[in-house]
């Protein structure tokens, strides 16, 4: 039986994808967030994320490597960094090995052209790759799901390279 791997798009609009080590999509989960961050902002909830990860029985995870974005204010940058810390901490506490991929790396590996605002391109690529699960990527706000799935697929592709 193939191993279970996770693809994770960090952030409040992100998601967690479960797939086999053969790239078969099992399920996706929107990033579990509550409006309990600083000033009531949406923040990743560690306990809810830990429940998803623990129940997945994943043997590895591929996570988008993110940094502060140009023009982003300190509050947004801190929130994004906090999300990464929560994800990394949950995976570490549960003993799931993590590999990071930058946005240009994973997008290149799955055939998404470089450029800004490639959210629809990610949804389209995910639908082409997993047509039986197209409903998971149907809405504009499902871009986090699509990106999490593609991050997982890109991580598997990178590992398969000699």
Residue 68 has pLDDT above 70, yes or no: no
CATH number at residue 95: 3.30.420.10
Report how many domains make up the chain: 1
Q: What mean pLDDT is reported for the chain?
A: 90
Query: What is the domain extent for residue 77?
Result: 4-160
Residue 22 has pLDDT above 70, yes or no: yes
d(CA 136, CA 154): 19
Tell me the average pLDDT across 4-8: 98
**Which alpha helices (DSSP H) does 31-132 contain, by range?**
46-56, 74-93, 103-110, 119-129
pLDDT at 129: 97
Residue 70 has pLDDT above 70, yes or no: no
């Amino acid at each position: 039986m193939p191993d279970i791997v996770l693809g994770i798009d960090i952030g409040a609009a992100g998601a967690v994808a479960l797939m086999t080590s053969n790239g078969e999509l099992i399920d996706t989960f929107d990033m579990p967030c509550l409006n309990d961050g600083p000033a009531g902002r949406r923040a990743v909830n560690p306990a809810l994320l830990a429940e998803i990860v623990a129940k997945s029985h994943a043997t590895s995870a591929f996570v988008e490597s993110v940094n502060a974005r140009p023009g982003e204010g300190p509050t947004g940058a801190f929130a994004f960094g906090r999300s990464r810390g929560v994800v990394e901490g949950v995976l570490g506490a549960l003993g799931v090995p993590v590999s990071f991929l930058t946005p240009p790396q994973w997008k290149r590996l799955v055939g998404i052209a470089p450029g800004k605002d490639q959210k629809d391109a990610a949804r389209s690529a995910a639908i082409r790759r997993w047509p039986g699960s197209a409903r998971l990527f149907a809405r504009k706000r499902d871009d986090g799901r699509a990106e999490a799935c593609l991050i997982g697929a890109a991580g598997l592709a990178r590992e398969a390279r000699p």
